[in-house]
Amino acid sequence: MKRRDVLKVAGIAVAAVAVGAQATEVTPAMNRMEMKPENAEKPTGFELKHLPQITVKDKDAKGYTNVEITIGQGGIIHPSTPDHWIDFISLYADDKLVGRSTLEAEISRGVAVFAVKLDNVKTLTSKAGCNLHGIWTASVTL
């Protein structure tokens, strides 16, 4: 390969990197640390604000039960501002993932509803991600 051919190949590679860089979205840093209350028997207000509240609602004619998850517990609602929000909520039926809802800052707050077949399910577990304060988990036994 001649020197000029190498430069042509290098030029194509640089162009490909530049296009790739333009297509990449800039996402804010997310705290992905797994969190839990210091004292599970007596969570603080800050901890309650991040814990998923799981509410099992009505079952429809097709056998799906609506499970509503709101963040957080005890009537303390997590904020949703441009710099601080719940960015996802996921639900597990026993160990099986039911779904994951991705949420945007400010325009939505930490609420998700999943229609779930609960036959033989013993435990529902929800995980919620706060961009600043990590991932919080709560479960209910059915």
Closer CB to Fe ion, residue 93 or residue 110? 110
Is residue 72 reached through a cis peptide bond, with omega within 30 degrees of 0 on the bond before it? yes
By CB under 5 A, residue 109 contacts Fe ion: no
In the region spanning residues 122 to 141, those forming contacts with Fe ion, defined by CB under 5 A, are 130, 133
Q: Tell the smallest beta-carbon distance from residue 31 to Fe ion (Å).
A: 9
Distances in Å between the alpha carbon of 110 and those of 14, 54, 67, 76, 81? 42, 12, 14, 12, 11
Q: Which is nearer to Fe ion, 47 or 65 (CB)?
A: 47
CB nearer to Fe ion: pick between 116 and 127? 127
Could you tell me the CA-to-CA distances from 105 to 48, 51, 81 in Å, in that order? 20, 18, 6
The pair of three-digit structure tokens given for residue 105, joined into one six-digit string: 């800052």
Give the binding-site size for Fe ion (rule: CB under 5 A): 2
Applying CB under 5 A, the residues found at the interface with Fe ion are: 130, 133
